[in-house]
Amino acid sequence: MRRARKIDRVLAETYPDAKAELDFDDAFQCLVVTVLSAQTTDKRVNAVRPILFAAYPDPAAMAAADRAHLEQIVGPLGFFRAKTESLLKAERRPRRAVRRPVPPRLEDLVTLPGVGRKTANVVLGNAFDIPGITVDTHFGRLARRLGWTDLEDPVKVEHAVGALFPQRDWTMLSHHLIWHGRRRCHAKKPACGACPVARWCPSYGLGPTDPVEAEKLVRTEGPN
């Protein structure tokens, strides 16, 4: 536990600007862009976002959206038919039990089409300041490389890692690991020789350990 928390403190110092890399103005936009981010990059979603919300600025407008027009907007993101279906169903779903257009509870969010625990935790942590752990591919990979868990199932990883940290740290912990995974601890060739937490990492050596060679692998921003 102490080693895990030390790693998080160092990553916080390394990435002081760590945050969600999807752009949004409110909980509704956060939910929509997170659903759209599946199987594509945040940069592509951010490029589509202004067009999407200019046409459909709120849940009521999106619920009344023309399917063909919505598909045209989200088309560049891939899987556009499935994503369009999720958005339309989510916005048209009755919410008699909740007063807000986007419910601030995990158990309500995961009932929405296209929303799993990962998306729900993104919305909770970044739109409502309710702590949540976002287990995407980067987070899961780093949690295993750092020896925090050997589990593969995202929900089990979420609970295992969550037990190592105070709940108040969960959202920022997610940002720290995701930023580190996107910038240094890559899936195929991690920049081990340029890693600020290398001394505490049991997987050190998976990538080049020479500082000069490793530094060439470091990205200044997340993948395009």
138-190 pLDDT, tens digit per residue, is 999 999 999 999 999 999 999 999 999 999 999 999 999 999 999 999 999 99
42 Cβ partners below 8 Å, 6+ apart?
21, 22, 222
Q: What is the pLDDT of residues 13-49, one digit of tens each?
A: 999 999 999 999 999 999 999 999 999 999 999 999 9
Report the alpha-carbon distance of residue 47 to residue 78 in Å, rounded. Answer: 14
Residues 95 and 169 in one domain: no
> CATH number of the domain that 160 lies in?
1.10.1670.10
Residues 123 and 37 in one domain: yes
Q: Which domain holds residue 209?
A: 2-17+133-215
Boundary of a domain, candidates 127, 156, 182? 127
Boundary of a domain, candidates 104, 127, 150? 127
